[in-house]
Amino acid sequence: RAVLIGQPTYGKDTVQVLYEIDEDDKHPSDDRVAALKLTIRRYLLAGARSIGQSGIQPDIRTDNVSIGRRRLRLSQALRHPLREGHDFEGMDRPIFVYRSFHDQPYVDDDAKLAHRLLEAVGNVDRTRFLKAAAPLIHELQQAVRQKLVAALSRQGVDWTEGTNPVSPQVRLDLYFEGGPTRLVAGRRTNLVARLRNVGRQPLYRLYGVTRSSGDLFDQLDFAFGMIRAGETKTWRVPVVIPRSIEARHEQLMLRIYGPKHGLVATRTLFARVRPTAGPRFGYQCQPTDPHGNGDGRIQTGESVVLLCLVQNLGRGASARTLASIRNRSGDGVLIRSGLQRISALAPGASTIVRFTFDVTRDFRKDDVRLKLRLYDRESDVELSDRLHFTVERNGREVQQTTARMAEVTAPRIDVYASADEDGPPLGTLAKGSHVRVDRRVDGWVRVELDGGRHGWVHARGLRLLSGAPNTLPNPIFVPKLRSNPMIELLPRHRPPTLTSNSEIMLRGRLRALSDDERLHDMYVYHNSRKIYFKHAWSRAKDGWVYFDCPVKLVPGANRLVIVGRQDELLTRALRVSIFRVSR
């Protein structure tokens, strides 16, 4: 093969075939497209290695090294650039690892390195090229090391070269600045390492690297350099704990190394992270036709404004939320404005998001299909759902009402997005509500809701008030929302985040937001393995679906994910972390 320079590349190592399911085998009410996917072949590298796991390794792997208080990868920079054994024929791992150094953020040096090697070597045969390139790569790496020493010096680290004693005597302390109470999801803290030389000789080129049971505190680098006898040096690493992280215990170990990666000292620490309450979204969507006849139904040739009421049903505030719609109808639907940003929503707060799209006159389908997505990146909270709206070819004649105000006389009255019961339900108006009215059609009356929205109600549930009453509108409106399933662990059976037990029982319950909606199923993953499944069609008298899931814990970190599904898109996942310590 040719000489490869850069990063390892990975690919899909399977060949799959899709077999469409015959329409006769599907239920008449199921309009989805379904197919069966079968794996029939696999692509393997030499030695029957998977390209998806092993990847194609370059001959010269390039890495960028950055030195700074907030970004330090010293342990990677100190590895020897030439592979042990000098096997120029092998292809299972890089022959060389070339590291470029920059004071600025990442700079791509692959093309520059390839150009310089081609000019210097002048031979494209792979084996000859790599043998001839070895001296030049060593020369380039030596220059990089000089830059590295200078950069460490600017950070106050003396990287003087020297010989350490066979058994260095040090005292290592590892702790979080501000104490363990600072480890709260969504906050920043510093992981501090204090290293003291308690021996009688100076120690040279000391650095440390963390290993952790999770990725939160893993691969953090500490630089100490030279420490004289009796001297103490401290290094702080800023740590940002994601707001989306669940309650957990993390075990982290700091290993201190000297020249040639000789192990000097180790220190282990358990970190307990407390969670922060996050948002949970509920929504309702209502198509409106401000430039049409105003009946709330979509006709071909209309420009539609989709009003989405988004409410935070959770116990924590949202931060930066993106709301988007995507066309799932094919040709004939043109989305004009399909992405909106929502500012922070406190618990219980709501806002109205406006999307716009056009339905062309040559649109031939019976309904418009969209996909709605609400995503708060900071909390990693998502809601996705399908939207279906009926399309009419010809609109109805809508008339103005003579009255301008009406009173709800029924115990409660349902409000719809359009003048028929097939339209999306918006909620209910309570008895005694006074609402503004402006239009009527076929026994339906359009009423004004909050936020400038309108809805349609049956005229038989209203008493129209003639004249100009002094009563101000006071609609007692309860919106009907859709949301992800609710999942909670039973308080008395909530598993600990740190335990020595080999098995626990996971007990909890889940339900849909409203009583007239049902869940489809639920399942539990333990690390990467599915360990529990239950159909959620039947529920208890209180409306909840209860589950009992035994879990056999492995030593170390155990990541559990409880998933409840209302349908393929409307799902929710609850993460649980348990660390099992050895007795």
Q: What is the pLDDT of residues 470-493, one digit of tens each?
A: 566 777 888 899 999 999 999 888
- pLDDT for the residue 542: 87
- pLDDT for the residue 86: 44
Residue in this structure with the two tokens 């239009």, named with its chain if needed: 439
- pLDDT for the residue 531: 96
- pLDDT for the residue 194: 97
- pLDDT for the residue 81: 39
Phi–psi pair at 400, nearest 5 degrees:
-75, 145
- pLDDT for the residue 102: 59
Residue 302 one-letter amino acid: E
Same fold, 284-482 and 484-580: yes
Query: Domain 170-273 - what CATH class?
Result: mainly beta
- pLDDT for the residue 521: 93
Q: Which residues pair with 184 in a beta bridge?
A: 274
Q: Is 322 within 8 Å of 339 (Cβ atoms)?
A: yes
Q: Give, in order, the Cα–Cα distances in Å from 368 to each of 9, 147, 330, 395, 568.
A: 41, 61, 9, 16, 19
- pLDDT for the residue 286: 92
Q: Can you give the three-state secondary structure of 136-183, one letter per residue? A: HHHHHHHHHHHHHHHHHHHCCCCCCCCCCCCCCCEEEEEEECCCHHHC
Q: Domain map of the chain by residue range?
A: 5-154, 170-273, 284-482, 484-580
Helix (H, G, I), strand (E, B) or coil at 433: coil
CA distance 147 to 533: 56
Q: Is 262 within 8 Å of 205 (Cβ atoms)?
A: no
- pLDDT for the residue 520: 92
Residue 401 one-letter amino acid: T
Q: What is the pLDDT of residues 369-383, one digit of tens each?
A: 999 999 999 999 999
For CA atoms 201, 207, 213, 217, the dihedral sign is: positive
- pLDDT for the residue 526: 96
Q: What is the pLDDT of residues 416-434, one digit of tens each?
A: 998 888 888 899 999 988 8
Helix (H, G, I), strand (E, B) or coil at 116: helix
CATH number given to 284-482: 2.60.40.10
- pLDDT for the residue 30: 56
Whole-model pTM: value is: 0.81
Residue in this structure with the two tokens 């509108």, named with its chain if needed: 473
CA distance 272 to 217: 12
Q: Which residues pair with 548 in a beta bridge?
A: 507
Homologous superfamily assigned to 484-580: Immunoglobulins (2.60.40.10)
Mean pLDDT in order along the chain per 10 residues (583 residues) = 84 84 58 78 77 82 71 57 43 67 60 85 84 86 83 88 91 90 87 95 93 89 93 93 92 90 89 93 91 83 93 94 95 95 94 95 91 94 93 81 86 90 88 88 87 86 73 78 94 90 94 88 94 89 92 95 91 95 82
Q: Can you give the three-state secondary structure of 326-372, one letter per residue? A: EECCCCCEEEEECEEEECCCCCCCEEEEEEEEEECCCCCCCEEEEEE
* Sheet strand arrangement including 170-176: 170-176, 188-197, 232-240
User: Residue 53, Cα to own-chain centre: how many angstroms?
Assistant: 23
